[in-house]
């Protein structure tokens, strides 16, 4: 895939970096073989007019968008915007103004495709994004993981009257969006995630008319191939061109905060093998998007932050460019990120992390330090000694034996001191890259609860020892 496009996915629905951070990392992405960016703005785009309330408090300004595009151009990175068009629409449907567009009134995930205002809203969003991205050649409409489809009364009536299935309801909605793009922005080619197409029968897919309107992006983040066995024959019959999508982070757990690089390397080598065998079925395999999910949905907690996963991104990009993962790839990225020795491929294997120096390395180092301390914390709170001699009942009755409480106090004090130091250092490192809301969220979700727990243990242990 050395001649294919390699897109770095920037998932901005969680932890959107300051523009200054992009200025630091775009040259690295270019050096490692990236040819473009797939930018999923969600609520970080500065929507205006009737859409203005969609934009978050920290949304990029129009000037910021211009700066990002300029930085991308300077580093020869093509920009492809991504705007969701039916599912994963929480960032819009959570707003009171747009609640009437929900497929399920109590759930803010999916648009109702039978509500004419749904199509108007999506097309308006697309038009505004295109306006601020002059000259783009591709646009991604999302359209993945639509968990609620054809369940509202309006959709049920429509399916009954028109004699169509929920799958066809989806296809009609998507086709309307794609036709809007083709008619309004004729120089733009459309892309969509493929998962909603995987189990649609070939005749239905052929009759949908999507084959001439969109290029599916087939995503798969596991290390062994588990997609339908007929997927390549079916897609190649309908679509002349396709994309694939791997993952360099954010695909191993909704609240995982450290990246297992070895896992993602295996995902990329799997894709290289699959494309070597199946790519010839298509007129063109456009390339690969290396996804880096930041939240599993709009309401989920943050997972692996971009600076923490930059080593993984570098290794995965270079692996795609070179066609395999080698010791040379490992050494090159280690050197580019100024590691004193080869960077660790699996942070979950305890061991010293070599010093390094790259944009955001403070976040990387403090998070790996926290990962190791987090393991010690977990062992401590489940330790038989703590559960036996310092459980809540014993503390309430002030019934304890100092011979056991003293070592518990000593160990808990060490863990608390370690967490407190990481908190201070990580807060400073996060502030260099992120806005205050991201800094606050990460610390409050991952660090503060453990710090509070250990503070409580230390305080109670001291009380017990003061009243023997």
How far apart are the C-alpha atoms of 51 and 399, rounded to whole Å?
Answer: 61
CA angle 251, 254, 255 (to 5 degrees): 120
In 3D, which of 198, 184, 61 has the Cα closest to residue 122?
A: 184
Query: Could you identify the residue written with the tokens 């393991």?
Result: 375
How far apart are the C-alpha atoms of 407 and 396, rounded to whole Å?
Answer: 20
SS (H, E, C) 269-338: HHHHHHHHHHHHHCCEEEEEEEEECCCCCCCCCCCCCHHHHHHHHHHHHHHHHHCCCCHHHHHHHHHHCC
How far apart are the C-alpha atoms of 23 and 81, rounded to whole Å?
Answer: 18
H/E stretch holding 383 reads none
How far is CA 154 from its chain centroid? 33
H/E stretch holding 66 reads helix 62-74
Would you give the DSSP letter of residue 353? Answer: P
How far apart are the C-alpha atoms of 340 and 330, rounded to whole Å?
Answer: 13
Q: What DSSP assignment string belongs to 140-162?
A: E-------S-S-SHHHHHHHHHH
Would you give the DSSP letter of residue 444? Answer: I
* Identified catalytic residue from 96, 103, 131, 145: 145
How far apart are the C-alpha atoms of 186 and 168, rounded to whole Å?
Answer: 25
The DSSP bridge partners found for residue 219 are 245
SS3 call for 139: strand
In 3D, which of 294, 303, 246 has the Cα closest to residue 13?
A: 294
Establish whether 379 is a catalytic residue.
no
> What stretches of 323-382 show up as alpha helix (H) in DSSP?
327-336, 361-381
Contact present, 122 and 85 (Cβ < 8 Å): yes
User: Based on the number of CB atoms within 10 Å of its own CB, is 325 exposed (0-12), middle (13-18) or buried (19 or more)?
Assistant: buried
- Could you give the residue numbers annotated as active site? 145
């Amino acid at each position: 895939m050395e001649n294919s496009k390699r897109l770095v996915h920037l998932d901005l629905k969680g932890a959107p970096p300051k523009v200054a951070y992009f200025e630091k990392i775009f040259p690295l992405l270019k050096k490692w073989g990236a040819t473009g960016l797939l930018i999923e703005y969600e609520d970080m785009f500065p929507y205006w007019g009737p859409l203005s309330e969609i934009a978050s408090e920290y949304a990029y300004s129009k000037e910021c968008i211009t700066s990002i595009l300029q930085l991308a151009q300077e580093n020869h990175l093509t920009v492809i915007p991504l705007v969701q068009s039916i599912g994963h629409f929480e960032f819009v449907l959570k707003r009171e103004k747009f609640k009437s567009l929900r497929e399920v009134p109590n759930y803010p995930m999916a648009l109702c495709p039978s509500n004419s205002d749904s199509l108007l809203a999506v097309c308006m969003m697309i038009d505004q994004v295109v306006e601020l991205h002059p000259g783009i050649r591709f646009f991604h409409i999302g359209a993945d993981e639509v968990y609620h489809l054809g369940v509202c009364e309006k959709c049920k009536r429509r399916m009954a009257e028109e004699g169509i299935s929920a799958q066809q309801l989806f296809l009609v909605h998507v086709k309307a969006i794609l036709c809007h793009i083709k008619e309004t922005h004729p120089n733009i080619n459309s892309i969509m995630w493929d998962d909603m197409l995987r189990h649609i029968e070939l005749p239905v897919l052929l009759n949908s008319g999507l084959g001439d309107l969109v290029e599916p992006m087939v995503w798969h983040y596991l290390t062994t191939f588990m997609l339908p066995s007929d997927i390549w024959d079916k897609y190649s019959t309908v679509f002349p061109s396709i994309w694939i999508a791997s993952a360099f982070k954010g695909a191993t757990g909704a609240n995982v905060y450290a990246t297992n690089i070895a896992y993602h390397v295996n995902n990329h080598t799997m894709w290289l093998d699959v494309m070597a065998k199946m790519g010839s079925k298509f007129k063109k395999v456009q390339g690969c998007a290396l996804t880096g999910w930041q939240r599993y949905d709009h309401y989920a907690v943050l997972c692996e932050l971009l600076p923490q996963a930059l080593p993984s991104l570098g290794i995965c990009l270079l692996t795609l460019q070179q066609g395999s993962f080698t010791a040379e790839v490992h050494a090159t990225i280690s050197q580019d990120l100024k590691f004193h020795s080869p960077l660790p491929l699996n942070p979950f294997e305890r061991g010293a992390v070599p010093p390094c120096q790259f944009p955001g390395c403070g976040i990387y180092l403090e998070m790996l330090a926290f990962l190791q301390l987090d393991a010690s914390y977990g062992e401590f709170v489940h330790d038989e000694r703590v559960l036996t001699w310092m459980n809540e009942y014993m503390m309430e009755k002030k019934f304890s034996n100092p011979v056991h409480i003293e070592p518990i106090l000593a160990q808990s004090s060490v863990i608390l001191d370690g967490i407190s130091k990481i908190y201070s250092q990580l807060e400073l490192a996060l502030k260099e890259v992120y806005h205050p809301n991201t800094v606050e969220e990460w610390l409050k979700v991952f660090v503060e609860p453990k710090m509070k727990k250990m503070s409580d243990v230390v305080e109670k242990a001291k009380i017990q020892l003061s009243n023997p």
